[in-house]
């Protein structure tokens, strides 16, 4: 059984097929958040702290930490900023962290101060990346996210993306890094632009699980890019990828609809033992608040139909024609 | 490609792996609805009409019609009542219907008056049932729901349930009924009582699709029986069964959260061409109405995180360390 172990100073988490889905909170990331980027450059980490606390409160299993403020020379500025951000976050919450940077020096600087066993996000199949990141993964004995693209970019052919993932796993093995420390991101395309994007990912996830036997992750909300009511698409995608074998995702845990889908899929996948997390979270849930967007448009129906079909069959058992 | 064709007088629907999920509305069923049963016995079909119209308006692909009012002798009373109910419903809406009865004489009487090509619900693996129902299926050239239990009851072993389904398909073939006219119900157990119920069904659905090549259905809400916030479990279950290959379900289409899950899964499964149904349904959706039950408990987060990860990576492409 593939088990990827990540840890903070105090808490160890296992990513695996028999584990609850690992929700990696994506919020601490200045990319596309101008205000946050400006704050971080000024040394103001109020939003970082707020995002850390809110994501953990909302149920994040881990937090991704990115300090890519796109300065003129990230190689010069990002290492110190990532170290500072990481230290603040690991001083505030006790979930394991993911060190997210495209700057190798920043990753190494963060690995030097990180407590426990962080996840490194990420390496790709690009030769330069493999040579830069894999030695660090080996040296610090940490797991890494492997993104299925290489020098040729992101292939639309899932077989090519599988081949890139396989190459990364093999190259890691050359460095003495076991497959259970590689968490493959098969790359999720927007379904609005490519109608096969969902089926591609589901098929890829099965192959990654059955052939490479690796854990997997993705940037979850990419799937709904460009569509209305993105949370509804995301919330449908989560059970489908979990059913196909995905074991983690980088996502926003502060979205209740998505987190409800994660919790439901954990129940259905048998990783929420005795449904305890579900029952604890929703035991006081009021049906009237079920709150789907079309609720107001549909007249209330009489009584709860739940279980009727089964009851009906049982009730009819003695009345065969 | 397996295609089960059902039809009303005016409308033909294909159930198949490459088709939108077929939602069979479950509401017209007096089992467990005392008031409805009393009305139907009195010849009052107001609720039946209301349920028919509401379910079609909510997006049902087909409607199940059951008139099992559990009289002292269903063999004497159910045929006439089912015929009456069916005639009213098929006069009111133009979706294909499912004739739902455990009384063989009622099924035959309904088949005599049904327009188009109804689905018969159901046959089991019980010898007496097979001998009673399969000749009718052949005679009227209609598809049938095959429930995976037999004289020994419902097995908790999915291999036994698969074997029962296989037996029914083989027995049907002996009668000259093709496999594409058998829609197998693998039987869904409550996940709260059996933690493996989800994984069992997912594995069964794959085998039914790949080995028997049949369409499938289930009484969907059984999965959440006994748990709080059942709609959340149902809405997570729908994408998972669709991803595993299920092509229809008997469910309540008047539940917006469940129907949203069906529409999202159709998008992700590639059966909502160009996402047209999704876009038409949710184009005016207000994010503030996203309405998951915990919405009020989570502070608003700044900006929409959607697509950031992808953008982030693209943005960082020139900044490799």
B193 in A contact zone (CB under 8 Å): no
Cβ atoms of B199 and B231 closer than 8 Å: no
Q: Three-class SS of residue A5? A: strand
Q: Is B306 close to A224, i.e. CB distance below 8 A?
A: yes
C-beta atoms surrounding B142 within 10 Å: 22
pLDDT in tens, chain B (321 residues): 899 999 999 999 999 999 999 999 999 999 999 999 999 999 999 999 999 999 999 999 999 999 999 777 888 899 999 999 999 999 999 999 999 999 999 999 999 999 999 999 999 999 999 999 999 999 999 999 999 999 999 999 999 999 999 999 999 999 999 999 999 999 999 999 999 999 999 999 999 999 999 999 999 999 999 999 999 999 999 999 999 999 999 999 999 999 999 999 999 999 999 999 999 999 999 865 444 443 333 333 333 333 334 333 433 333 332
Provide the shortest C-alpha distance from residue A182 to chain B (in Å): 19
Per-position b or e across B102-130, b if 16+ CB within 10 A of its CB? bbbbbbbbbbeebbbbbbbbbbbbbeebb
Contact between B254 and B55 (Cβ < 8 Å): yes
Rounded to two decimals, the ipTM of the complex is 0.90
**Would you list the DSSP string of B81-116?**
HHHHHHHHHHHH--S-EEEE-S-HHHHHHHHHH--S
Q: What percent of chain A has pLDDT over 70?
A: 89
| pTM summary value | 0.90
A198-233 pLDDT, tens digit per residue, is: 999 999 999 999 999 999 999 999 999 999 999 999
Widest distance between CA atoms in chain A: 81
Residues of each domain in chain B carrying CATH 3.20.20.20? 3-282
Determine the distance in angstroms separating the CA of A205 from the nearest CA of chain B, rounded to an integer. Answer: 12
**Which of B264, B307, B314 has the highest number of chain A CBs within 10 A, making it the mutation to test binding with A?**
B264
Count of C-beta atoms within a 10 Å radius of residue A127:
11
User: Which of A26, A192, A270 comes nearest B305 by C-beta?
Assistant: A26
Residue B59 contacts A, CB cutoff 8 Å = no
Nearest to B196 among A27, A223, A270 (CB): A270
What CATH number belongs to A3-282?
A: 3.20.20.20
Contact B219 A310 (CB under 8 A): yes
Torsion angle of C-alpha atoms A202, A208, A211, A213, degrees rounded to 10: -130
CA distance B5 to chain A (A): 23
Q: Bin A238: left if φ > 0, else alpha if -120 < ψ < 50, else beta.
A: alpha
Name the 3-class secondary structure at B294: coil
Beta carbons within 10 angstroms of residue B34's beta carbon? 10
A244 with A225: CB under 8 angstroms? no
B296, B312, B314, B317: best mutation site toward chain A, by most A Cβ within 10 Å?
B312
Give which of B261, B229, B231 is closest to B246, Cα–Cα.
B261
Q: A219 vs B309: CB contact, 8 Å cut-off? A: yes
Omega cis (within 30) before B17: no
Least Cα distance to A28 among A107, A85, A108 occurs for A85
DSSP state of B28: S
């Amino acid at each position: 059984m593939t088990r990827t172990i990540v840890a903070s100073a105090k808490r160890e988490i296992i990513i695996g097929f028999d584990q609850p889905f690992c929700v990696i909170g994506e919020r601490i990331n200045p990319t596309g958040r101008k205000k946050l980027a400006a704050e971080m450059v000024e040394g103001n980490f109020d939003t970082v702290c707020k995002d850390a606390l809110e994501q953990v409160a909302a149920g994040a299993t881990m937090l991704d930490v990115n300090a890519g403020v796109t300065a003129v020379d990230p190689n010069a500025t990002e290492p110190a900023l990532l170290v500072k951000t990481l230290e603040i976050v690991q001083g505030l919450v006790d979930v394991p962290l993911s060190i997210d940077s495209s700057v190798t020096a920043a990753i190494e600087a963060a690995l030097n101060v990180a407590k426990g066993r962080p996840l490194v996000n990420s390496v790709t199949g690009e030769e330069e990346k493999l040579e830069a990141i894999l030695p660090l993964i080996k040296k610090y004995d940490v797991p890494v996210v492997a993104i299925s693209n290489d020098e040729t970019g992101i292939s639309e052919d899932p077989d090519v993306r599988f081949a890139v993932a396989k190459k990364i796993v093999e190259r890691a093995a050359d460095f003495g890094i076991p497959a259970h420390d590689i968490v493959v991101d098969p790359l999720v395309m927007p379904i609005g632009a490519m109608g096969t994007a969902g089926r591609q990912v589901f098929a890829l996830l099965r192959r990654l699980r059955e052939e490479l036997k690796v854990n997997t992750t993705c940037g979850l909300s990419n799937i709904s890019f460009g569509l209305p009511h993105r949370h509804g698409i995301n919330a449908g995608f989560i059970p489908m990828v979990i059913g196909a074998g995905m074991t983690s995702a980088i996502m926003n845990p502060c979205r209740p609809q998505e987190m409800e889908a994660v919790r439901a899929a954990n129940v259905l996948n048998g990783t929420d033992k005795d449904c305890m997390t579900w029952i604890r979270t929703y035991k006081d849930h009021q049906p009237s608040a079920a709150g789907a967007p079309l609720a107001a448009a549909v007249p209330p129906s009489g009584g709860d139909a739940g279980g009727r079909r089964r009851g009906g069959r049982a009730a009819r058992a003695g009345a065969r024609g």
